């Protein structure tokens, strides 16, 4: 009796030890197969010469790919452009998103419609966004053509093929899509600000600016920090919009680092070098993210 009870208890304990793993297994398997394995293979190929069209040169390369990256002017150019692109995009998206959020937080007639309109660009698929903007920028059917018809500007021009206009043309397209994201997150926090705080501030005779600095900003700060980080990472990794709108051109004028990776790996079949570039981008992003979170002290607020 006692032995069978002990055996039973032991079996039950074994079962119970086994359960959590079984329950985690599906998620763990998926993460292993679809996340860890691909990431690990990128690190592996970064140390290889691997070009499917030049198989005779394939083999272990050590750190050759990374040495080549350090001397690759295109890498540094694309990195510099990526930095500029992220700063300008996130900065403008934050400003526009904040203004939009503050506007639609007011009560006025037709607010629901305006809110839906403000958020709609975010709901549009990326590839659709670029199609819309490509039609707008198209020299023979877009805005430029109709402006030329009205006598403004000249025929056969496109913002996407100018020397400086290209940058601002793609910035505008991405801004159109990205600003609503800030607006949504900021608006959500704005709605949680208790109205009596503003009423108390009114009693104390605070102005609009004072109310924003002392009440609104502290409430939305966290949302802004998170949104800026997310948008920063997304803009860094932005491929779809730039790839379809400009393909990184003209020249290399709009080539971000991930776009350079795409060109190297997908078009040139040089997966070794492409993987090494990806590893570098990964490390840069990880370092910047840690630095950013420390600077904004997000972690400390949580505890």
- Retrieve residue 113's tokens: 């419609």
CB 176 within 8 A of CB 97: no
C-beta neighbour count of 292 within 10 angstroms = 15
Residue 133 CB, shortest distance to other proteins, in Å, is 14
Which position among 189, 247, 284, 285 is part of the footprint of other proteins (CB under 8 A)? 247
Q: Does 9 bind other proteins (CB under 8 A)?
A: yes
Which of the stretches 38-46, 62-70, 184-192, 259-267 binds other proteins when contact is defined by CB under 8 A?
259-267
Q: Does 267 bind other proteins (CB under 8 A)?
A: yes
Q: Does 59 bind other proteins (CB under 8 A)?
A: no
CA 218 – CA 176 distance, rounded (Å): 27
Which position among 6, 31, 33, 63 is part of the footprint of other proteins (CB under 8 A)? 33
DSSP state of 164: S
Between the two ends of the chain, the Cα-to-Cα distance in Å is: 51
Q: Does 246 bind other proteins (CB under 8 A)?
A: yes
Residues near other proteins (CB under 8 A), total: 45
Element (H, E) at 213: none
- Retrieve residue 168's tokens: 């601002």
Which position among 6, 128, 200, 266 is part of the footprint of other proteins (CB under 8 A)? 266
Q: Which is nearer to other proteins, 4 or 140 (CB)?
A: 140
- Retrieve residue 183's tokens: 């607006």
Residue 153 CB, shortest distance to other proteins, in Å, is 10
C-beta neighbour count of 145 within 10 angstroms = 17
Which position among 269, 289, 292, 293 is part of the footprint of other proteins (CB under 8 A)? 269
Distances (CA, A) of 46 to 38, 120, 275: 12, 40, 5
Q: What residues from 133 to 172 belong to the interface with other proteins (CB under 8 A)?
A: 139-140, 144-145, 148, 154-158, 160-163
Q: Which is nearer to other proteins, 26 or 205 (CB)?
A: 26
CA 259 – CA 256 distance, rounded (Å): 5
């Amino acid at each position: 009796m006692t032995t069978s009870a002990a055996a039973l208890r032991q079996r039950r304990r074994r079962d119970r030890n086994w359960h959590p793993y079984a329950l985690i297994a599906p998620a763990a398997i998926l993460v292993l197969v679809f996340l860890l394995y691909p990431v690990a293979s990128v690190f592996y190929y970064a140390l290889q010469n691997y070009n499917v069209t030049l198989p005779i040169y394939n083999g272990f390369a050590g750190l050759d790919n990374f040495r080549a990256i350090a001397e690759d002017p295109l890498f540094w150019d694309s990195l510099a452009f990526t930095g500029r692109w992220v700063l300008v995009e996130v900065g403008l998206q934050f400003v526009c998103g904040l203004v939009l959020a503050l506007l639609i937080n007011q009560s006025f007639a037709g607010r629901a419609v305006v809110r839906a309109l403000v958020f709609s660009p975010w709901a549009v698929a990326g590839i659709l966004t670029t199609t819309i903007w490509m039609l707008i920028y198209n020299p023979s059917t877009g805005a430029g053509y109709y402006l030329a018809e009205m006598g403004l500007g000249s025929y056969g021009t496109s913002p996407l093929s100018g020397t400086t206009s290209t940058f601002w043309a793609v910035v505008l397209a991405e801004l159109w899509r990205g600003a609503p994201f800030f607006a949504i997150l900021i608006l959500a926090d704005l709605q949680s600000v208790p109205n009596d705080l503003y009423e108390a501030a009114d009693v104390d005779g605070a102005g609009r600016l004072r109310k924003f600095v002392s009440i609104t900003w502290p409430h939305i700060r966290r949302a802004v920090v998170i949104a800026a980080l997310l948008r920063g990472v997304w803009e860094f990794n932005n491929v779809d919009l730039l790839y379809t709108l400009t393909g990184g051109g003209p020249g290399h004028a709009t080539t971000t680092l991930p776009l350079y990776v795409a060109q190297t790996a997908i078009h040139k079949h040089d997966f070794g070098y492409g993987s090494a570039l990806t590893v570098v981008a990964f490390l840069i992003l990880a370092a910047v993210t840690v630095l950013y979170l420390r600077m904004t002290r997000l972690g400390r607020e949580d505890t």
